[in-house]
Amino acid sequence: MIDSNTQVEEIMKIPGVVSYFIENRVSPITCSGPFPQPLGKLLELKKVADPDAFIAGLNDFLTERGIELKEDNE
């Protein structure tokens, strides 16, 4: 499950996830590649009105596609 502390670089490894960001008008890409900080920081910088709703929607997007984010310690 993705939360505000999940690194954007890790999220970008998930196939198809960029489309969710673009549909919600948030670019996860910088001139040097994926944003190198946690998702919460990206959403703060992009002035997303409801970061919790964005993250919940992202998790729903992944669930609908049968994608599970593995924890680092699994």
Task: Summarize pLDDT for 20-66 with one digit per residue, the tens.
Answer: 999 999 999 998 889 999 999 999 999 999 999 999 999 999 999 99
**Could you tell me if residue 24 is inside a domain?**
yes
d(CA 3, CA 6) in angstroms, rounded, equals 5
Annotate 6-22 with DSSP letters as a single string.
Answer: SBHHHHTTSTTHHHHHH
Q: Which amino acid is at 5?
A: N
**Could you tell me if residue 70 is inside a domain?**
no
What is the predicted pLDDT for the residue at 71?
A: 58
What is the predicted pLDDT for the residue at 50?
A: 97
**Could you tell me if residue 69 is inside a domain?**
no
**Could you tell me if residue 28 is inside a domain?**
yes
pLDDT at 74 over 50: no
**Could you tell me if residue 71 is inside a domain?**
no
Number of domains observed in the structure of the chain: 1
Q: Which regions of 8-59 does DSSP assign to beta strands (E)?
A: 29-30, 33-34
**Could you tell me if residue 72 is inside a domain?**
no
Residue-number span of the structural domain to which 30 is assigned? 8-64
d(CA 47, CA 41) in angstroms, rounded, equals 10
What is the predicted pLDDT for the residue at 20?
A: 97
**Could you tell me if residue 48 is inside a domain?**
yes
